[in-house]
Amino acid sequence: MINARKNLAGMHENFENMTVHTNYLHELTQEEFASGMDELAKMFKSIYTGMINEPWLYAMKNGDDHKGLERNMNFLMQLAQKGNLNNNFVDVDGILLASALKEAKVTKPQIYFKILESLGFMVSGLGKKIDTSDRIIVEYPDNHYLLTALKSMADAISMFSKSKPHKQSSVHFELLDYRVLNNYPATEPKTTMEYFLSKLKGESRDVVEMFYEFIKSLTNCNIKGGIGHYWTPTFTLKSTKKVIMSLKLTLDTHDVKLNLANLSKYTDILNNFPAKIINEITDNGWGCSGSSCSPNCAGAFLFDLNGKSYKKCRGGSFVFHAPNINEAELLIRLLEREIEIVS
């Protein structure tokens, strides 16, 4: 179950430092709300783990990964968003919920109520049909703060998607993107490199952080992309207003693209570089044909290396795949020399 695995890997954590707007707290303290978010995150992880290991328990079939996941999460979101929060429980009118679930393409809601009960929820007032149930009561005895967190997340995502539907994918209910709770009404969360670094794992995080610490004071950063696919931070030198470095980041790996336009002036630095870096310099990207593919192109990268001349297209050259810490240190040396020349 590919999407469930992606969501499990991309789940938001560390809620103790989150800031929630007063309107989303529902009279809880920040600490109490964070406790509810932490409990909700554990539940989401349990759901995704269950989808991966026993998809049939979540009404999912092989080849039905995306739709099955959507039905589960749409049910949970609509239940919370259409319900009323009353201290330790949520209650919702059956007719109102049935209409919302139909619009969300959840056709057999009884199945999903059973799933909730298996996760520790208590449900009462549920009739044979949802639309004939006057008042459905949902409780979570282990930690009722979870219901507040769930209700606020559902409300915030709903507000955001109504105001900016074309950007809905920028905010993720399925990943508990709690940044949407910072403002009321909900607005698109500010995307920063610091935020992305908090999501990266292991050596990938260490390497990207090394590049960022070196480059951040010299550049302005523009970020595109999202956690479901990949992020592309681009760094433009303040001195020249030209791109000097860009990254392609996923949860699992990182690519680094350097603008080494003046490499011909410092190829001597490559004498003791490992073969992997040399091969990526000579093999990645494609040769420039000399044709006028773009009137805005500054021309090919020209350099000689190991007795061979290269004329590389700017589009895909100097891309380094998943450099480790040692390789990153060497690439930063190249970057430093380039910046010295162009600044």
Q: Which two tokens stand for residue 75?
A: 């049910």
**Separation of alpha carbons 95 and 110, rounded Å:** 14
> Which spans in the chain are helix H?
2-10, 22-25, 30-53, 65-82, 94-103, 109-118, 145-163, 193-199, 202-215, 275-283, 325-342
Q: Does residue 15 contact residue 128 with C-beta atoms inside 8 Å?
A: no
Kind and range of the H or E run holding 14: none
Reduce the DSSP state of residue 21 to 3 states and report it. coil
Alpha carbon of 166 to those of 48, 171, 172, 233: distances in Å?
26, 11, 13, 21
The half-sphere exposure of 27 on its side-chain side, counting CA atoms within 13 A, is 4
Q: What is the pTM of this model?
A: 0.76
CB atoms within 10 A of CB 340: 11
List 88's β-bridge partners, or say none. Answer: none
Q: How far apart are CA 281 and CA 276, in angstroms?
A: 9
**What integer pLDDT is reported at residue 225 of this predicted model?**
64
- Round to whole Å and give the CA distance between 308 and 326: 26
The burial of 72, by beta-carbon neighbours within 10 Å (0-12 exposed, 13-18 middle, 19 or more buried), is given as buried
pLDDT tens-digit profile, the chain (343 residues): 678 888 888 888 778 888 899 999 999 999 999 999 999 999 999 999 999 999 988 988 776 678 888 889 999 999 999 999 998 999 999 898 989 888 888 888 889 999 999 999 999 998 888 888 889 999 999 999 999 999 999 999 988 877 665 444 566 788 898 889 999 988 877 778 988 888 788 899 999 999 999 999 999 999 876 545 678 899 999 999 999 999 998 877 899 999 999 999 999 999 999 999 999 999 987 777 766 666 677 778 888 998 999 888 887 789 999 999 999 999 999 999 999 999 8
| In the block, residue with structure tokens 């908090």 | 198
Closest C-alpha to 270, from 338, 211, 325? 338
Integer Cα distance of 121 and 311 in angstroms: 64
Nearest to 335 by CA among 318, 323, 321, 322: 318
One-letter amino acid at 249 equals: L
What gap in Å lies between CA 52 and CA 65, rounded to an integer? Answer: 9
Looking at residue 168, its pLDDT comes to 47
Contact criterion met (CB below 8 Å) for 239 and 218: yes
- Cα–Cα distance, 295 to 306 (Å, whole number): 32
Q: Which of 341, 335, 342 is nearest to 216 (CA)?
A: 335
Single out the residue of 261, 311, 304, 307 nearest to residue 286, CA to CA.
311
Residue 84 pairs with which residues in a beta bridge? 91
Q: What is the pLDDT of residue 270?
A: 94
Contact 297, 280 (CB under 8 A): no
What whole-number distance in Å separates Cα of residue 64 and Cα of residue 70?
A: 10
For residue 236, what is the enclosing H or E element?
strand 231-237
Closest CA to 226 of 37, 4, 6, 50: 6
